[in-house]
A and B are shown apart, each in its own frame.
Chain A
Amino acid sequence: MNIYVNFLIISVFLINLIMLSSSRIRACIKLMALQGVLVALTPFIIPHSVATGVVIISVINIILKGMVFPWLLLRALQDANIRKEVEPVGGYPFSLLIGVAFLVMSFWLDSRLAYSIQVFSNLAVPVAFATFFTGVFIIVSRTKALTQVIGYLILENGIYFFGSILLSEQPLLVELAVLLDVFVAVFVMGIAIFHINREFDHIETNKLSELKDWIEPQEDI
């Protein structure tokens, strides 16, 4: 039992690393979907009883993260007509090392926490934290709007992973509301990306600051 759990946890973390070091957006979207499915499967392999609510949420998670989001994002990718992310700040090798640093930081954070319950694997919580940090890092370091949406979804994966590790049963209503929010966010962002791309011929977010109503008057000498 434990070996599957550990393999799953390490796969979730390795997907983070690949995501940090890959420039191909299409591959990133697919990996994000895979990570979402893996994370949604967590409740079934951890040793406590599986309630009906958990099954419902897992199935919705798999459908949303495994199929709907990749489909929406791949379509946005096709509309935006881009294939590669530009080099992030510091380059890909640097972000890869940052990903490992996140794991170290998460282990430290994990050692500072006191759990009221027995966690089934001592790797699980640090990897959930690391996934969380990776999502945030992708949002701040990448420049394409589409990759930032991917970062947002990784962040969500991390939060969901953390929840499914620590709580044997999450409140159904809260989880459904969160999923609805995420769905609407991705949906709206997909439309926004499409429109930004149509208006400005690119989706570089660092160039969006050029959107100004008025141009600062030049100082005359």
Chain B
Amino acid sequence: MSMKIAQFILILMVSPFLFGVINRTKAFFAGRKGAPLFQLYYDIVKLLRKGAVYSFSTTWVFIAGPMVSLSAIIVASLIIPFAGHPSIISFDGDIILFFYLLGLARFFTCLAALDTGSSFEGMGASREVQFAVFAEPALFVSLAALARLTGKSSLAGIFGSPQIHSWVSYGPLLCLAIAALFILFLAENSRIPVDDPNTHLELTMIHEVMVLDHGGVDFAYILYGAAIKFWILGALLTGIIFKVSPYGWGVDTIIFILLMVLLAVIVGVVESTLARLRLLKVPHFLIVALSLSFVAFIISLR
């Protein structure tokens, strides 16, 4: 149990670091020096010390939004297996709980955005929900393919089973699932090519525009929630690649964190080399992920 708690605390501590890695990679490609690797920690600490300003037109939903989102994401991080070991919460069918916790986080972010009454934020919420219509089924189906392959219905069961590492027999399925999950990983974390985390032009933003009116502590919650969400969705990807080593928990943990850092570097490379898709093309991109996950699922049925 103490090991599981240690894993949980590691997730909470390490996840903002990955954003620093992404920004460093992008800075390297742009020929800049870049922000410090621990910039997100500084930002969060700075924001936590500030007070929040609430508009008179908002209600309790606006205040609850970031808190509910962050707590839903933290509970989801209790489910996600760490380095092939089960986490604190693990039972049959916890995949469904995992997805609905992410859905709850999204729902409250959108509600808080709508609560401000700003037309821009409403637009952002509308886009977020529109793209989620394509992204969520794809996420469900690709995880269903893996569940079907391994015969387990808990995340820990899926990522701990031998089938997920037998590339010789199930290579095509695993490749398809990884491709679909990577697209969804980029989309759900609002990275390029779906959304640009650095853009500050309201007309093209999706996720950023929804959180424009949050400040201080609330914004710190949002940033921290985004960092943990990046970790838990990334852990779905690295969980497929990672194989438990015979050298014990410590080595596993280090290798797993290095894999996550590698994933962050890959995201940085993708962001540096790709342009953002036109908003009209984003559903097409997500439907590609949906098709790939469906193909993986169909193959898993055989």
Contact = CB atoms under 8 A, between A and B. Distances in A.
A24 to B, nearest CB: 14
A50 B75 CA distance: 58
Interface stretch (B79-87, B109-117, B120-128, B290-298): B290-298
A10 interface: yes
B171 interface: yes
A7 B295 CA distance: 13
B302 interface: yes
Interface string B258-301: 00000000000000000000000001100110110011001101
Nearest to B286: A93
A100 interface: yes
Contacts, number: 47
A141 interface: no
Contacts of B291: 17, 96-97, 99-100
A97 B169 CA distance: 27
A122 interface: yes
Interface residues of B, number: 19
B125 to A, nearest CB: 23
| Majority DSSP secondary structure for residues of B touching A | helix
A6 interface: yes
B168 interface: yes
A123 B169 contact: no
B252 to A, nearest CB: 27
Contacts of B287: 93, 96-97
| Majority DSSP secondary structure for residues of A touching B | helix
Contacts of B171: 3, 6-7
A103 B283 contact: no
B284 A92 contact: yes
A107 interface: yes
B295 A3 contact: no
Nearest to B294: A100
A118 to B, nearest CB: 15
Interface residues of A, number: 21
B123 to A, nearest CB: 22
Contacts of A13: 295
B44 to A, nearest CB: 38
Contacts of A42: none
Contact of A96 (B169, B288, B299, B302): B288
B40 interface: no
B95 interface: no
A31 to B, nearest CB: 15
B145 to A, nearest CB: 13
A79 B167 CA distance: 46
B172 interface: yes
A21 interface: yes
A10 to B, nearest CB: 4
B169 A2 contact: yes
A3 B284 CA distance: 30
Contact of B172 (A6, A17, A93, A100): A6
Contacts of A7: 171-172
Contacts of B301: 107
A104 interface: yes
Interface in A37-87: none
Nearest to A93: B287
Nearest to A98: B291
A123 B299 contact: yes
B70 interface: no
A13 to B, nearest CB: 7
A93 B283 contact: yes
A21 B294 contact: no
Interface in B109-149: none
A152 B167 CA distance: 35
Nearest to A7: B172
A96 B286 CA distance: 11
B226 interface: no
A221 B302 CA distance: 67
B141 to A, nearest CB: 10
B294 to A, nearest CB: 5
Interface of A: 2-3, 6-7, 9-10, 13-14, 17, 21, 92-93, 96-97, 99-100, 103-104, 107, 122-123
8 pairs of A and B residues whose beta carbons are closest in the complex: A10-B172, A93-B287, A100-B291, A100-B294, A6-B172, A93-B284, A122-B302, A3-B168
19 contacts: A2-B169, A6-B172, A7-B171, A7-B172, A10-B175, A10-B295, A13-B295, A14-B295, A93-B287, A96-B287, A96-B288, A96-B291, A100-B294, A100-B295, A103-B295, A107-B298, A107-B301, A122-B302, A123-B302
Given A3-B171, A10-B295, A96-B291, 7 more contacts: A3-B167, A9-B172, A17-B295, A21-B284, A92-B284, A100-B291, A107-B298
